[in-house]
Chain A
Amino acid sequence: MDFLLTGLMQLADPWLAGVMVFGAILGVVVGAIPGAGAAVTISILLPSTFGMDPLSGMTLLLGVYCGSAYGSAIPAVLLNTPGSPVAVLTALEAKPFADRGEARRAMSLAYSSSFVGGVLAVLALMLLTKPLALIAKNFGSAEFAMLAISALVLVVVGHTGRRLEAMAALAFGLFLATVGIETAFSTQRYTFGQTWLLQGIPLVPLVIGLFAMSEALVQLTGPGGRSKEVPLAGRFFDGFLEVLKYPRTLFGSSFVGIIIGIMPGVGEFLAQQVNYVWARKLSPEGHLFGKGSPEGIIVSEATNNAVPPAALIPMLALGIPGEELTAMMLAVFLVHNVIPGPDLFINRPEFVAGLYWTLLVMNFVIIIFLMFATKWIAKAALVDKRFLGVTILTLSLIGTYASNYNFSDVGIAMFFGLLGYILRSHLWPLTPLLLGLVMGPIVEGRLRQALGGANGDLGIFVARPISAIIVGALSLLIILSVRDSLKNRKSRAAWQINES
């Protein structure tokens, strides 16, 4: 109880409360702008958070993360364009609502299911993280190495239809992580005598280049223009109570979203697909799915919002980021020398408790804000894509140059901006690249520790029970997904088109 009260006291700090509200509102707004979104905003904000205390920095980024999950429903309903890729199902289900003049009903269904999913996931975060960290205290390097590798395997397996591309992106990220001075013998790897590469590939310019600059380039070189708006018709509060008519779908989607969110490397997409399939099968109104089903919106939004807080569970308890946004947030931890993992609860309990409460209160702030501000935020969704490109590119300079005042950082950002642009236009996933870069040193360090303790005997990974279980599960998963990929080989033309 003292632990939780400590966190509540942190929230009484007006600065922290202000940062939380600002982050949440910013998240909702950027989530509502197709092409902006959490990844772009967090990558640009990342250097600014290094000057803040870790709790404020994390709160700002989490506000953007959670807020954007809510905000992405706005263009999905009003423009029939998902604000972020995870709102694709919402866009699909909301179109018939908008066509019937019930856009507000669809919106309130989305908001209320987002709220339930988000709050339940924060409660899960509060209840599960510490016990998981206590269990992890008994883990050795072999277990941590296998857990980290499982995140890498899952991120590849999760990209159904593009697994080879995901594997290449992950391997490239892992390679980039090895550039610079390695720790065992202090020798240089792939620096080619360039002093600016001695410290390795810096995370911030890479993230800004890959996620923000590439997005700006896509918008600037694209056709541009404004989307066509759907009138905000119907009664706003209709959907708020309507979600309670579908408790199985609402709570089931949230529960599955939490479970899949905890699994590193999987993310919202798979969670949504799993939920959508079972909800359609179990629902007496399953025939309505894809044709404007309230349950379809509930599944999509409850899952979307359950994943972000749940993704924090493995990061806080084990130090393993589950997806791109938590991987970016790991940088905030590292800059402030806050080491996520089992010892975090002993060393920085006030930080963890503060994080819990800000996340919980954030959901209330967002839902109240949306009740009153949807009409105005909907205008932001109509911004011209070319202007969005100009804004993002201008902001990218602040992020890259001003974080380190180093020209080579800007060069790195430009290189990854171009690479991201090319990869995006070929529908190659970017997340595995970032996860490879962030997880590379963790995996290498843990593997070296584990093998060092066993004098190089690879049997260490199957000699310890938990590690052996992970090895077995991963082997099975790899065999099954290779078999699945071979069995369901599509023609190149089919998988090149965005299947979402």
Chain B
Amino acid sequence: MVVEESEANRLESLLLNLIFAAVSAVLLGLLFVATKQGSANAGWWTRPALAPGVALALLLLANFLSLLRAVSDLRSAPATAEEWVDARAKIAGWLRPFEFLAYFAAYLWAIHVIGYVAATLAFVLWLLFRVGLRTSVWLLVGVALVAALVLIFRMGLGVWMPAPPLYDIFPDGVREILIRWF
């Protein structure tokens, strides 16, 4: 059977546990800075810090126990040289999604400049090119996808998008249509 999840590396998991434990400790440490006291006459159960305090204490406990488990496991069976190499590659892999998130941010910016249709078309075609889907068939599929999105969301469900400066160069009638549908 095909299982698509990847196997995590013990050292990579240890680093992740360290980060999570540190973040939860910092958040818990900020409890009385990030929340106010409330009224002194009210009961203890109404204190604004109570709910985040309990949640963060639980978070810290779970992360700390995970960290302990990871450390004790590595002490009983130290990491091999292959695991170290694999860990470095996997930790570097954490940066991979940033590339696509950067494209996503650029896409959002482009909507405000050139409009939804043009920005979506550019985004989809660039992504298809970037991931290696570069034949003319994929180009057509990309265009069809954008057409379907416009048809369903802009024309069908009437989802509003900001009017970009680019549409100002068109005559009023065309501009109205572009703003309304594209």
Interface, chain A (partner B; CB < 8 A): 34-35, 48, 51, 79-82, 88, 91-92, 95, 164-165, 167-168, 170-172, 174-175, 177-179, 182, 184-185, 187-192, 213, 216-217, 220-222, 224, 227, 384, 386-387, 389-391, 393-398, 401-402, 405, 407, 410, 414, 417-418, 421-422, 424-427, 436, 440, 444, 447-448, 451-452, 455-456, 491-493, 496-498, 500
Checking A171, A217, A227, A493 against B55 with a beta-carbon cut-off of 8 angstroms, the contacting residue is A171
- A397 — which chain B residues lie within 8 A by C-beta? 104, 107-108, 111
A80 to B93, CA, bound (A): 28
A492 partner residues in chain B, CB cutoff 8 A: 10, 13, 69-70, 73-74
Which of A51, A418, A444, A452 makes the CB contact (< 8 A) with B97?
A418
Which of A168, A184, A213, A394 is in CB contact (< 8 Å) with B124? A394
Q: Say if the beta carbon of B141 comes within 8 Å of chain A.
A: yes
Q: Considering the chains assembled together, what is the distance between the CA atoms of A395 and B116 in angstroms?
A: 12
B1 touching A165, Cβ below 8 Å: no
Secondary structure call for the B interface: helix
Contact at A171–B58, with CB atoms within 8 Å? yes
What's the Cα separation between A402 and B77 when bound, in Å? 51
State the majority secondary structure of interface residues on A: helix
A selection of 7 A-B contacts at a CB cut-off of 8 Å is A88-B1, A95-B1, A171-B61, A188-B36, A397-B104, A492-B70, A497-B7
For A35, the chain B residues whose CB sits under 8 A away are 4
A440: chain B residues at CB < 8 Å are 51, 55
Taking a contact as CB atoms under 8 Å apart, the answer to whether A175 and B27 are in contact is: yes
CA distance A395 to B124 in the complex (A): 11
Which B residue sits closest to A79, measured CB to CB?
Answer: B2
Contact partners of B52 in chain A: CB under 8 A: 175, 178-179, 189-190
From residue B128, how far is it (CB to closest CB) to chain A in Å?
Answer: 6
Chain B residue numbers with a CB within 8 Å of A410 are: 105, 108
A339 CA to B98 CA in the complex, in Å?
40
The answer to whether A387 touches B157, judged by C-beta atoms less than 8 angstroms apart, is: no
Total A-B pairs in contact (CB under 8 Å)?
207
Contact check: which of A34, A182, A387 meets B128 at CB < 8 Å? A387
Interface pair A168/B66, CB less than 8 Å apart: yes
Given A224-B131, A492-B70, is A171 in contact with B59 using a C-beta cutoff of 8 Å? yes
> Nearest chain A CB to B151's CB is how many angstroms away?
13
Q: Of the candidates A164, A216, A389, which one forms a contact with B66 in the assembled complex, judged by CB atoms under 8 Å apart?
A: A164
Shortest CB–CB separation between residue B38 and chain A, in angstroms?
A: 4
Say yes or no for B84: interface residue by CB 8 A criterion: no
Contacts of A182 in B (CB 8 A): 48, 51
B56 partner residues in chain A, CB cutoff 8 A: 171, 175
Partner of B100, one of A164, A393, A424: A393
**How far apart sit A187 and B35, CA to CA, in the bound complex (Å)?**
7
* Chain B, 125-147, CB within 8 A of any chain A CB: 127-128, 131-133, 138, 141-142, 145
